[in-house]
Each structure stands twice: as C-alpha cells, then as structure tokens.
Structure 1
Amino acid sequence: MAVLLSKAALALERYQLSVPGTLSVAITGDMPGLVALDGKLSGYDGEILQMAATRLGLKIRPVPMEWYGAIAATQSGQVDIIGGNVAWTRQRADVLTMTDPTAYFQNGITQKIGQNWNSLADLENKKVGSMIGFGFLVELRRLPGLQLMLYDTPDAAMRDLVIGRIDAMIGDPPAIDYAISRNPDWKLHTVPFIDNNPDFPLLTSTGRQYVFGLSKNNQALADDLSREIRLLWSDCEVRLIGKHYGLLSDTNFVPSADNFRAGVDRPADWAAPRCRQ
C-alpha cells in the first residue's frame, strides 16, 4: 500500500493531469485499439495503457469522444492522452508529445475478395472511403480522378463497400482486420501497398508507428509511459497482447529501416523498440 501511495504522490508532482491522480483517456471507440470496458481499458493499446497507468499509480477515467476532436481535446487538457491506432506523423509531433511506439503497421487497400488492388495507381478514378481526420487524406486527394468519401467509423465505410457505394477504403489496418475477422460474410480483404513511394509516405511507408499522444506540457508522463512500453517490448509481451486482438503479422512488430523519428522528436541516437526474441 505504501508503494502505491508513493507512486500516486509522485504522479501528483510530475504530471499535469486534468483530474489529479487520474489519467483521462480519449475513447474514440475503435477496436482493437482502445475502448473502455467496466471502467478499465481493453484493446491492444488499451491493455498496454492500463498496465502502464497501474504501474505509475494512476487511475483511469475514460472520456468518450469523436476521433476528429480528440487531438484538440488532448492539446487543451480536456483529456490527458489519446491512443488506439493513433499513427505518428511529423505534423502530430509538432502539436503533441508522442510516446515510443506500441506497434508498427503498413497501410493497404480494403476491397472485395476477388480484387487484388495493391498500388496507388489502382485507386485512380475510383470512389474510395476513409475516416475523418486521417493524416493521409491529403495524399489520397492527390491521386488522379479519386473520389474521396469520408466516414466517422471504419464499420460505416466497410458497409458501404460491401453494398457497392464505394470501390475501396483506406483506414487503420488493425481496426479493419479486426472487423473483417468478425464479419466473414462481408467478403472483404486488405492488400498492403507495394509502392513504398517517398512522395506518399503516410499512405505507403512500411514500419509506421502507433503511439500515444499527450499535451506538450506532459513530457514527464510521456517519458514514463515510454519507459513502460519499452519494458513490454524487451520481453516481447507486446506479441502476447497482440494475439488477443488478431495482431499476428510480423509487420506489427518490426520497425521501419528508416529511423524517421531520430532527430525529430527523439534524440539522434534513438532507436525504435523491437522484440529481443
């Protein structure tokens, strides 16, 4: 009990929280990233954040909200942290303090089984769905003839894809894989991009990172969360957590060869974590 009390007291001193001793978490509702269940966090990022918060002596306060407002809410201190399939981008790093990655990913084209589109050229002159607020939307809009349809949730986009209102969709790979695995009657699949085109890095790069984002005045908390995240990488517990939510591919656990955060929001000698096993 004394250890927990000392951790709670330390948290009060080190962290800038909207509710003292409590981590207020933006819940945007997508599995398998981060959701609230009976006052605790579930999902891949949810389990990681719940474990880290407990070790840091913090309680959890879930705050449901729409994705498109979550970053602003984190910046303003309405909530303390955003996570759950939140990709690192340079633009987000300019406005938020980002933790070390919880996982890695590569985008792909979600489409009907029988189609195998795997390149940016395949999306030209197509009606493509995606979600409001995604960083890669600016890149999608550059593709010739592409008609972009925006949705609040990946489920809504996939349902339109099933009935033919759109030709394809681009979204968070884990959320899409999770939904498809539980709805085989949709007859959808996702094929990764083969381009790896430097002119379209947010769409096609490999080894991109999922992170937690906090306000700029919460650097101490971000550092402590990063330490806890790296501990889960050190013994490869991230893979065990991933298995609960269908994150089975090596692409979820292998960083990019391009150490793109070094010298940006990390020291020049920083290296992205990976499993030791």
Structure 2
Amino acid sequence: MKLKTIAAVITTLAIGFTAPVFAADTVTVGVTTTGVPFTFIDTATSKPTGAMVELAEAIAAETGMTAEFEVVAFSALIPSLTTGKIDMISAGMFATDKRREVVDFSTPVYSYGEGMFVAADDATDYTLDDLNGATVGAQVGTTFADTLKARGTFGEIKLYDSIADIMRDVKLGRIKAGFGDKPIIAYQISQNPKMGVRLVEGYQPMKPGDVALAVSKENTALLDAVNAAIAKLKDSGALAKIFAKYGL
C-alpha cells in the first residue's frame, strides 16, 4: 500500500469523510474459510463472505480503497501478514498480548468466548473438571488450544486445521469433546442440525476475548485509517448491522 495514499486516507478521515482526495488503492485482506459466520466461502459465488469480510469491505470503502481477499489457513494468517503477503487480517481472531508482540490490532469490533461441544447423543453438560484425563480437540493456532494446554489436566489435546475436522471426530467418538469459537459452532449447528454434535449448555468460557483486525507493526498509517473507519461505522450503526446479519 502506498504511504502517500494512506496519508491521504488519514487526512480525509480527520476532516469527517467529506470526499475522497486521493485515488483508490487496494488493500489485501487475509481471511480463512473455516470461520463461519465470520469468514467463509459462499458456495454460490465461490467468493469469501461473512461478517468480517463485509466489515473489511466497509472499512475499505470508508477509506477510499478496494479490498482484495486472500484465503489463508488460520494458523498462517499472522505469518502471511508479517511477511508482507497480505496487508490486513479480518477474521474471527482474538487480539491477545502474545499476538500483539508481532502485529498491531485495531479497536475491538466483537467480543465472545469459546464453546465446548460433544456428540449429539451425549446428554451430559460437562465442566472442564469433568474432562480430566479425557482426549479433547481444538483448532491449531487458537488461544483456546493454548489455554487448554496450560491447564495440564487432559489426557491428550489433539490439534486440528478446522472446526469441521474436530466436529467429525467428536461425532465419531474419537475424542470426548471439542473447543472452538462459540459463534462459529452455534452458526454451523443451526445451519446443519444433523452435524452430530451439540453445544454444552451452561459452559463457562475459559477466556473471553475481543475480535479485532490486524495490520503489521510497520503500517501505522493503515491502522489509523482502519480505526477511524471503525469508529464511523460504530457511530452510524453499520457495524452492528453487519454482525446482526450473520446472527452475531
């Protein structure tokens, strides 16, 4: 992204989004296909869609840019950002202190915690203590996986590339329970009640977090532009409408 263009973006934001005074530029946004309803592929168009995709498009529009989306595995999003393959991450990613060591996050746009899910025919509403010694699953690269490991109470914690893979093994009885982003799990189950898993009622998240967009530490101008756009979208109610559209 051209620094001259970003400077013009910030100037425009500062004077109240009056009119573009610069030529539109492109921002490459990293998304993942495993984050329904935050980010996923629309089967009808074969293009990325979801709440965080629409948010990135809205932010780009506010700043006079065009968003181009790059599909990346969740665990590869930050490496892709730090190596310059993408300009920004817009996914269901928590802004954690560990991640802040290598990237910068925008102001939060959504908050939630993880959910626990078990086989649909398992009626027990487990607590974490009930699963001592059990084999459970989590998605690689997530904060949930790190927090589960830190407990040191499970027999084994299997790491998976996607929530769909975890759901499959829970359904087949290969692992006792799975953990993942609660909104993503709830949305997938609502869309396909025959998935063979259910959310555990009453489960208390270990560590709720804030979802935010991420940029490289060298791109402070883009971060300022993104934060200004988010503030405007919040004030207008547009941000809330985007998330409500996807049941969030």
With normalisation by structure 2, the TM-score equals 0.81
Matched residue, 2:37 = 32
1:140 counterpart letter in structure 2 = L
| Distance in 1 between residues matched to 2:183 and 2:233, nearest whole Å | 19
Matched residue, 1:177 = 186
Matched residue, 1:48 = 55
Q: Deviations over 1:152-209 (max 9, x none)?
A: 1111111111111111111122221221111101242223543xxxxxxxx6134x20
Q: Is the 8 A contact 1:26 1:63 kept in 2?
A: yes
Query: Do structure 1's residue 204 and structure 2's residue 206 form an aligned pair?
Result: yes
TM-aligned CA distance change 1:237 to 1:115, over 3 Å: farther
TM-aligned CA distance change 1:35 to 1:80, over 3 Å: farther
TM-aligned CA distance change 1:154 to 1:93, over 3 Å: same
Q: Is the 8 A contact 2:95 2:210 kept in 1?
A: yes
Matched residue, 1:188 = 197
Which stretch shifts more, 67-76 or 142-151?
142-151
1:48 counterpart letter in structure 2 = L
TM-aligned CA distance change 1:221 to 1:36, over 3 Å: farther
| Distance in 2 between residues matched to 1:138 and 1:242, nearest whole Å | 27
> Residue 29 of structure 2: SS of its match in structure 1?
strand
Q: Deviations over 1:196-254 (max 9, x none)?
A: xxxxxxx6134x2001111001112112212222223224433322232121xxxxxxx
Instruction: Kindly report the root-mean-square deviation, in angstroms, between the aligned alpha carbons of the 2 structures.
Output: 2.5
Matched residue, 2:26 = 22
| Distance in 2 between residues matched to 1:76 and 1:159, nearest whole Å | 33
Equivalent residue for 1:165, pick from 163, 166, 174 = 174
1:55 counterpart letter in structure 2 = E
| Distance in 2 between residues matched to 1:219 and 1:157, nearest whole Å | 37
Matched residue, 1:68 = 75
Q: Is the 8 A contact 2:112 2:182 kept in 1?
A: yes
1:174 counterpart letter in structure 2 = P
Query: Do structure 1's residue 246 and structure 2's residue 247 form an aligned pair?
Result: yes
| Distance in 1 between residues matched to 2:92 and 2:246, nearest whole Å | 13
Between the two proteins, what is the percent identity of the paired residues? 26
Q: Deviations over 1:28-65 (max 9, x none)?
A: 21221124665975211111110110111111222222
1:87 counterpart letter in structure 2 = F
> Residue 136 of structure 1: SS of its match in structure 2?
helix
Equivalent residue for 2:164, pick from 140, 155, 159 = 155
Q: Give the C-alpha shift of residue 13 in structure 1.
A: 5.9
2:244 counterpart letter in structure 1 = K
Matched residue, 1:219 = 220
- Relative to total residues, which structure has the larger strand share, 1 or 2? 2
Q: Give the C-alpha shift of residue 133 in structure 1.
A: 1.0
Q: How many residues align?
A: 226
Structure 2 unpaired stretches of 5+:
11-23
| Distance in 2 between residues matched to 1:24 and 1:76, nearest whole Å | 13
TM-aligned CA distance change 1:56 to 1:64, over 3 Å: same
> Residue 101 of structure 2: SS of its match in structure 1?
helix
Q: Deviations over 1:115-145 (max 9, x none)?
A: 212x321331121111111123232123323
TM-aligned CA distance change 1:189 to 1:237, over 3 Å: farther
TM-aligned CA distance change 1:234 to 1:123, over 3 Å: farther
Relative contact order higher in (CA < 8 Å, ≥ 6 apart): 2
With normalisation by structure 1, the TM-score equals 0.73
Matched residue, 1:132 = 140
| Distance in 2 between residues matched to 1:39 and 1:100, nearest whole Å | 30
Q: Deviations over 1:91-121 (max 9, x none)?
A: 111110100111110222112342212x321
